[in-house]
Structure 1
Amino acid sequence: MKLASIDNQTRDGQLVVVNKELTKAIKVPHISETLQQALDNWSETEPKLKEVYTSLNANQLESAFNFSEVKVIAPIPRAFHWADGSAYVTHVELVRKARNAELPESFWTDPLMYMGASDAFIGANDPIEIEKEEWGIDFESEVVVFTDDVPAGVNAETALSHIKLISIINDVSLRNLIPNELSKQFGFYQSKPWTSFAPVVVTPDELTEDWKDGKLHLPLYSTLNGTVIGAPNAGVDMTFNFGQLVAHAAKTRSLMAGTVIGSGTVANQGSPNGSSCLAEVRCLEIIKEGKASTPFMKYGDRIEIEMKDKEGQTIFGKINQVVTEYQP
């Protein structure tokens, strides 16, 4: 099943069911007005939504409309909880190697995670508005999951059953603001502007054999100004699967329905399939050449992020954003 939210001039948008090809959609106010409401009552809404999805794919719904003709916003424009992990430890290892810092052994056994700002997520085609280029504008291509209510202390295996939806995001980072923030040993804040989401979220069963062991085993493509920067397989070299990430987040407290958990930047060891952010590209240059030559993004740059199935069909739709200058 595939779901999305469209702009209806409210803060939380209008939930729609989308067909497999992402060409047709239909509103479902009789089931749920918003995606958050659907997740709040998932045991009741999921079977009803799946019935609509089946009928939509069979072209049996006269009230369906062209999905491309509406403005799609983030599936959950604002969430109660957003936590981003760093499940690809080989990426962290590479970044630390570039600055001659050792990787603590605990990083391989205990996930890194921070709580992000969830009061405003943006849509796949919304601009990346940044006040200053010198802040070091970077994209980060990630996989995310949405949960229902998760009890505190859940184990990793059981946590997988609480994952109800999956998507991809662009978790924009301002790289040149990060060092000062991390030096305070209190985490990210100013260096993390709004996160953008792909148009569509899907249920795990929609991914069939590509979703297994709590990982999504498909390449995640990042294309900057028409050039593919990388397409690492999201299921390869993922040190902590999503069950482990959800369990980590729920170690001491319950997670409410609609919680979003991110994988961190997707990366494959040695970067044979390219990179999912410019910071990694620059780190590879530093290790090989002694200095970074690839610049961070500038105004006018376009970043596209997408994941396709084995038949070449887009799964979540494309994130397609242009960096623009924000005027305070």
Structure 2
Amino acid sequence: MKLASYKSGRDGTLMIVDHTLTTCCPATDIASTMQAALDHWDSVAAKLEEQYTLLCEGKHSGAEPFDTSRCAAPLPRSFHWADGSAYVTHVELVRKARGAELPASFWEDPLVYMGASDAFIGPEDPVEAESEDWGIDFEGEVVVITDDVPAGTTVEKAANHIKLLGLVNDVSLRNLIPGELAKQFGFYQSKPWTAFSPVLVTPNELGSAWDGARLHLPLRATYNGELVGAPNAGQDMTFDFPTLIAHCAKTRSLMSGAVIGSGTVSNVGSKDGSCCLAEIRCLETIRDGKPSTPFMSFGDRIHIEMLDAAGSSIFGAIDQQVVRYQPSRD
């Protein structure tokens, strides 16, 4: 099953989307919003699935063309957004570029931060920044959405709480990060709004590519029309999604609609390219002594997408342009 949200108010209108991302229909007679569906997943999932089947068979009377330009983030805002750094090879590369050793604990215990979840943005909404000097970067990631997860949930049981999967562009302002990390209190200004793929999908949509813990398909990042990365999201993922969920729920419960991110998808040696500019710059620094690829400029475009084995888009594409915003000084 594939679900989206058309823009409407703060929380959008829940839409059911067919397997090919061609047609859709409102789900408002079952659940008005994505959060409402997640809050009552056990009682509404089967009803949504019935409508999805009719839609895919071309038998739904309310079918209409699916328009990604109308899409908000499938979950326009969440009570909880925790982003991990599951691909430790990415962290190792970043530290190597600046001559720093990676502590052994990074391979044994997940690194997670809480992001801004009060407003996610749609797949075609612009990346807004006041200044190019902030070091604007994209980060292609896989995310899972959970139902209620009790505190102390084990890794073995955590997998049962994964209800939906999607993609995100977790935008980073790289030149603001060092100052924030120097305070030893995590990201805040350096992490603006996160963009989501047009749809979230249930695990059964992914077939054998989803093993219950990792998604084994390449995540494609195309920057200004050039494919710069297609690392496989199932490879070199040190901490799988059940491990990340159990880590986040160690001391407190997670509420339905919690979004858990993988961190930037990265393969050892970046042999299949990179899903962020920071990694490209690190490789250049290791090779040449300094980076040569600049961060994003106004007008640049990033396209993030995952294709199935047949070459069809699974989640739809994140396709964003960087624009300057003019802040109100009132």
Q: TM-score, normalised by structure 2?
A: 0.98
SS in 2 for 1:215: coil
Quote the residue 1:217 is aligned against: 216
Runs (4+) of structure 1 moved beyond 4 Å?
A: none
Matches within 5 A, 1:1-328: 1-8=1-8, 10-68=9-67, 71-328=70-327
Amino acid at match of 1:2: K
Amino acid at match of 1:98: A
Task: Please tell me whether the aligned partners of residues 152 and 251 of structure 2 are also in contact (alpha carbons under 8 angstroms).
Answer: yes
Cα distance, 1:213 vs. partner? 4.3
Cα distance between partner residues in 2 of 1:146 and 1:94? 28
SS in 2 for 1:292: coil
SS in 1 for 2:91: helix
Cα distance between partner residues in 1 of 2:29 and 2:326? 41
Cα distance between partner residues in 2 of 1:234 and 1:25? 28
Task: Please tell me whether the aligned partners of residues 306 and 318 of structure 1 are also in contact (alpha carbons under 8 angstroms).
Answer: yes
Amino acid at match of 2:65: N
Cα distance between partner residues in 2 of 1:286 and 1:294? 10
SS in 1 for 2:116: coil
Cα distance, 1:68 vs. partner? 2.1
Cα distance, 1:320 vs. partner? 0.3
SS in 1 for 2:270: coil
For structure 1, list consecutive stretches of 5 or more residues without a partner in the other structure.
none
Between 100-109 and 68-77, report the one with greater CA deviation: 68-77
Cα distance, 1:206 vs. partner? 0.6
Cα distance between partner residues in 1 of 2:41 and 2:67? 27
Q: RMSD value over aligned CA atoms?
A: 0.7
Cα distance between partner residues in 1 of 2:19 and 2:75? 20
Cα distance, 1:132 vs. partner? 0.3
Cα distance between partner residues in 1 of 2:142 and 2:185? 25
Amino acid at match of 1:14: T
Cα distance between partner residues in 2 of 1:72 and 1:46? 21
Count of residues paired in the alignment: 327
SS in 1 for 2:291: coil
For structure 2, list consecutive stretches of 5 or more residues without a partner in the other structure.
none
Amino acid at match of 1:327: Q
Cα distance between partner residues in 2 of 1:260 and 1:233? 21
Task: Please tell me whether the aligned partners of residues 123 and 320 of structure 2 are also in contact (alpha carbons under 8 angstroms).
Answer: yes
Task: Please tell me whether the aligned partners of residues 143 and 261 of structure 2 are also in contact (alpha carbons under 8 angstroms).
Answer: yes
Between 206-215 and 163-172, report the one with greater CA deviation: 206-215
Cα distance between partner residues in 2 of 1:20 and 1:69? 14
Amino acid at match of 1:83: A
Note closer, same or farther for the CA distance 1:213–1:26 as it changes in structure 2 (3 Å cut): closer
Cα distance between partner residues in 1 of 2:68 and 2:275? 30
Deviations 1:31-51 (A, max 9, x none): 100000000000001111000
Deviations 1:141-166 (A, max 9, x none): 00000000000000111000000000
Amino acid at match of 1:187: G
SS in 2 for 1:52: helix
Deviations 1:176-202 (A, max 9, x none): 000000000000000000000000000
Cα distance between partner residues in 2 of 1:307 and 1:233? 10
Cα distance between partner residues in 2 of 1:63 and 1:90? 47
Task: Please tell me whether the aligned partners of residues 213 and 241 of structure 1 are also in contact (alpha carbons under 8 angstroms).
Answer: no
SS in 2 for 1:310: coil
Deviations 1:293-327 (A, max 9, x none): 00000000000000000000000000000000010
Identity among equivalent pairs (%): 64
Task: Please tell me whether the aligned partners of residues 68 and 198 of structure 2 are also in contact (alpha carbons under 8 angstroms).
Answer: no
Cα distance between partner residues in 2 of 1:313 and 1:85? 28
Q: TM-score, normalised by structure 1?
A: 0.99
